[in-house]
């Protein structure tokens, strides 16, 4: 009795055109629906959409956009400004904590005699 190594229920690998991939990603991003909903509509797996998004989606406006790009809408700019202000507050707090820590570490210990080494 000889066994074959080929499984009986193997599906052939599907190949998609680049235009299909690009249109799928743009449809997904424009629709506001989840990747799994769009993937089910298209008959593909959701992870394919994420892979295609990484490969074909235009650069986002969150810092990767070109320097000469036109500014977005007022609400988009307000959102970016609020995010930048939050980050500034966070970094300022971190800097202040580091300054205080440095001050504490650089003070001599009260139980060390003058002229002696720590």
pLDDT, tens digit (0-9, with 9 covering 90-100), for 28-79: 888 888 899 999 999 999 999 999 998 886 655 444 444 444 567 888 889 9
* pTM confidence score: 0.42
State the chain's mean pLDDT as an integer. Answer: 80
In this prediction, residue 85 carries a pLDDT of 96
pLDDT, tens digit (0-9, with 9 covering 90-100), for 67-115: 444 567 888 889 999 999 999 999 999 999 999 998 888 877 777 666 6
Distance CA 26, CA 57 (A): 7
């Amino acid at each position: 009795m000889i066994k074959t190594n080929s499984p009986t229920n193997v599906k052939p690998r599907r190949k998609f055109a680049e235009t299909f991939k690009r249109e799928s990603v743009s449809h997904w991003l424009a629709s506001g629906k989840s990747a799994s909903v769009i993937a089910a509509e298209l008959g593909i797996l959701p992870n394919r959409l994420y892979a295609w998004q990484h490969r074909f989606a235009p650069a986002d406006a969150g810092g990767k956009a070109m320097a000469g790009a036109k500014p977005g809408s007022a609400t988009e700019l307000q959102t970016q400004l609020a995010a930048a202000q939050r980050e500034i507050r966070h970094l300022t707090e971190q800097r202040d904590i580091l300054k205080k820590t440095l001050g504490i570490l650089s003070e001599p210990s009260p139980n060390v005699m003058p002229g002696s080494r720590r």
